[in-house]
A and B are shown apart, each in its own frame.
Chain A
Amino acid sequence: MPAADPMLGQWWFTLSTIDSLTSRIKKALPPNKGHAVLCLGTPTVAFHLSKMGYKVRLLDADPDVLAALKSAGGSLDAVEHNMFDGLPEGDRRAFDAVVLDPPWYQDDFEVFIDAAMQALKPGGHGYLSVPALLTRPTVVKERRILLQRLTELGASIVTLESACLRYVVPEFERSAYADLDGFTGRPWRASDLVQFQKVEEGEVPTITTVRPQAVPFRYLSLAV
């Protein structure tokens, strides 16, 4: 994979996380049965799932990531796509599972969740990473809003597992914390995994948000 780009909110999963996430999907949907999986901003998981025999489509905003996956070969259907443009028409109600790891900004979460719910077939499974509870002061409220949105769109929350998704420390983060005594660059960042299932057709609102600038903690100013 290319170096993670902070402007695109990229943090790559560790190998053990990719293994555990794909194992969960395998448990719900056995491979080689023609199950279709949509990966939204989760290229490493998409690549792994395609190798396991799933029919995988990846939507990702980074052309460098797509080029790297293409050079690795395989059957992955990888498409450059900005999620703020909405879900491509042909992807509606077409997938048995969706894996999504949006940048950790509220607007991104909303468009990714809306797209996932549109993409899932009824009964389909969703795997969503959300920031852990002490990631920033406002995160508890933000998570409540996201979970509420999911249920309003017709999802049933199946599980919420704490700190089970871990991320490799990217170079930009290693540099940012280089002055901290004892910071070694070992993976420390974890997110929680929300597993959900689409149980009914919800009303998907029109997306009216605009792509945000990458400003840390910018939604401290949101009225929630």
Chain B
Amino acid sequence: MSTVADRRNSEDLEHEDRVRSRVVAALSEGKSQLMAVLPFCDGADPRLVAQLLGELTKRRCGRIGLS
């Protein structure tokens, strides 16, 4: 049986995934600054966008061997 907390958690995770995909789209268009990424994110909280942007940028740099 799923609880309200489970549902909320899953809603939050789905939301985060949707925002992440927008951040990925922004990065693929060469946008890497927060204010340039926000217009891709359909009103998402800048704090969440900044966090995902940081994670994705770090991962990208790791993949191409930058430190």
Contact = CB atoms under 8 A, between A and B. Distances in A.
Contacts of A184: 35
Nearest to B7: A220
A97 to B, nearest CB: 25
B14 interface: yes
Contacts of A14: none
B42 interface: yes
B35 A134 contact: no
A194 interface: no
B63 interface: no
A163 B50 contact: no
Contact of B15 (A134, A162, A186, A190): A134
Interface in B16-60: 18-19, 22, 33-35, 38-39, 41-47, 50
Please indicate which of the listed interface residues A182, A189, A220 has the most CB atoms of chain B within 10 Å of its own CB.
A182
- Chain A contact surface mostly: loop
Nearest to A141: B11
Given A134-B19, A137-B14, A188-B38, A180 B50 contact: yes
A204 B38 CA distance: 38
B46 A137 contact: no
B42 A181 contact: no
Interface in A172-224: 177, 180-184, 186, 188-191, 220-221
Given A180-B50, A188-B35, A134 B8 contact: no
Interface string A144-156: 0000000000000
A133 B43 contact: yes
B42 A133 contact: yes
A220 B46 CA distance: 19
B41 A134 contact: yes
Q: How large is the interface on A (under 10, 10 to 19, 20 to 34, 35 or more residues)?
A: 20 to 34
Interface in A100-156: 131-139
The 6 closest A-B pairs by CB, nearest first: A132-B43, A182-B34, A137-B15, A135-B43, A134-B42, A134-B44
Interface of B: 4, 8, 11-12, 14-15, 18-19, 22, 33-35, 38-39, 41-47, 50
30 contacts: A131-B43, A132-B42, A133-B42, A134-B18, A134-B19, A134-B22, A134-B41, A134-B42, A134-B44, A135-B43, A135-B44, A136-B45, A137-B8, A137-B12, A137-B14, A162-B42, A163-B42, A177-B46, A180-B47, A180-B50, A181-B34, A182-B33, A183-B34, A183-B35, A183-B50, A184-B35, A188-B38, A190-B39, A191-B43, A220-B8
